[in-house]
Structure 1
Amino acid sequence: MDRFRPAKIAKGFGGRTVPRERTALAIWFWEIDRVLLSLIVALIAIGLVAVAAASPVAAIDRSTDAVSVTPLIYFYRQLMWVAIGLPVMLVVSMLPRTQARRLALIAAVIFFVALMLVPVLGEVKNGAKRWIHLPGMRFQPSEFLKPAYVVSIAWLLSLRAKDKTLPVIPLSFGVTAMIALLLMRQPDFGQTVVFCACWAALLLLSGVAMRYIGLLCGAALGLFVLTYMFYENGRQRINDFLGIGHDPMTGPDQADLAHRTITNGGFTGVGPGGGQAKFHLPEAHTDYIFSVIGEEFGLLACIAIACVYLAIVVRVLLRLLDEEDSFTILAAAGLTTEFGLQAIINMGVNAQIFPSKGMTLPFISYGGSSMLALCFGVGLLLAFTRRNPFMDRTPVVKWSGR
């Protein structure tokens, strides 16, 4: 009969009354950042609309029988991945910070091993070996490794606050270098950039001396030059972006096609299903879905989507302003950097600002690995940004009376 008794009441911050005895779900509801969760759900909804617009292009390109093609096949599949990913995100977000950190560390080990197995078990797709194909399933280890890697490096760097003598910076560099080498072997230049940029951002946030940041910037410039000189995949992407060696008789390249598509709809778009330029795009439902949105829903819709991504980043950073735990700050900021950087790269490629990198647009592009990995990463982010709304987090300044 105890469950029918009214919950005990206690005075909370601001004089509000809160129940002392609450279920785990009720605690999660009060502690979760509902604004951040709403923005993520809005992105997922936008993504479903965008995939529905781009699905006929992919369905026609990949179908061997034009008569039996199902135009919305990729929309139905994306709906299935959303139905799987949302519960994953919510369950991970319910974990306490310690358990969320442990889960990320375990996932980092598992998917790092999987990344090492890609050359052996990998499947070649579009000239790159990035996928592991097992009976009944196929996944991209680097997508799942990204959020786990960020949390793991954040945990390593947070140990400097306890013991300055720990060699966490060389260790984090070694892990990042190994991942970068494995990714460039696939080749996957875009993911390599994201991993290295996240590591650099975490180093900067951890408070390393500025001379090391300067050395890091110099090393990055040197690696860029070496990449162009000796790394065929990176050199080809840069040359395509600059138009070096392109034969005009072969027609426009991917960047030109994306630019024509995104500007074809003007500010308001040609309307859902009315786009024609999208049928000339490669990977319209993944890498270039932002261009499809621009054609059918207009540049105003593209600007609105960019504002949603910006709002997510700003929301997390504001949430961390009064956070005191160094690991939480590094982990949440690192996950936000990874999320925002991926969005910037994809939108920049579609707007012909960056070279083509094969990067999906978070929660909007089609993809099972991408959707599940993003849900896992955002679940970790929601777990790390949870807090008791009735706790006064204003710093207390003690006055000595002198």
Structure 2
Amino acid sequence: MASITLDGLAHAYRPDPRGPQDYALKEINHVWRQGGAYALLGPSGCGKTTLLNIISGLVIPTRGRILFDDRDVTRLPTEARNIAQVFQFPVVYDTMTVRENLAFPLKNRKMPREAIARRVEEIASRLDLSSVLDRKASNLTADAKQKISLGRGLVREDVAAILFDEPLTVIDPHLKWQLRSSLKELHRALDLTMIYVTHDQTEALTFADTVVVMHDGAVVQTGTPEELFERPAHTFVGHFIGSPGMNVLPARVAGRTAHVGDVAIALDHGYAARPTGERIELGVRPEFATLAAPGTGLPVKVTRIEDIGRARIARIEISGNPAAAMVPEDLSLDGDSAGLTLDPRQIHIYADGVLVPGEAAGREGVA
């Protein structure tokens, strides 16, 4: 078990990187505590698998160091790092039984037979494999084979970290929730450092205590699921997390008022003037934007209303800019005109995509 320190870590696949645009992984400085459950979340190509492969030793970074506790492992091979890794597709020995597959990593380490048996039974029970322990892996479904891969990663108690690279891709949707819950329970029981790579926000937010959101090779925010939802540090985080994602609207800001087109929006904080040329945007999640009768709040145009079962979502335009808002159950509209109320405490201002701290005193300025 280990804490993991990323010290000035960056990687480029080309031999002569000349600027940030040449790096698949831009500089990262971070410490992941021992026993934490982390998710690397982002779209394909954002750098999360590159980072995972650097941690595992499959890739040597262009610059920077990686430490397990105080031990520099930057140039050590995978087998010298004492980690377990579970890949996107099953890696099992088809000619072995499930029991033999799960026991294999422990037998290699000369663990006593009785201890191996106990550990295999425990992991098999948690992954719902007890009934197939003595069946050959070749006779099992892809779902069951991936459970074996997960079990082989989890069966050792002495690893520095367990790395999961989109491990539920081949799992049937109705089993994914069950397996995520099992992984979470195992994490609590084992106190192991776990790092889970995924592009699925549901997987990340339900598995991890801390989510690392990546975009274009950079870490744009690290925080708890609640922090990412309530206070996105970057417009990408607001877009990527949530369904639908955060409304991001071009704006001008003067003190405690934002203007989206010709619509004035009251802010909970004041904002000083920003440098000329910055892209200023207002962000508010649909959960904190509520459609209302015409003449109430801000004037908007309704383009359509979607019923998603648990709620109704209005697709609207604010001064021609598309947005989404929640529709109260008792609201009935005649035509496409409506009002919109916003929770001012949940409105965020961004400059070039980055969250701008508000000033409680509300100094006057223009952006």
Larger fraction in strand: 2
TM-score, normalised to structure 1, is 0.22
Larger fraction in helix: 1
Structure 1 or 2, whichever has the larger Rg, is 2
TM-score, normalised to structure 2, is 0.23
Query: Which has the higher relative contact order, 1 or 2, with Cα contacts under 8 A spaced 6 or more apart?
Result: 1
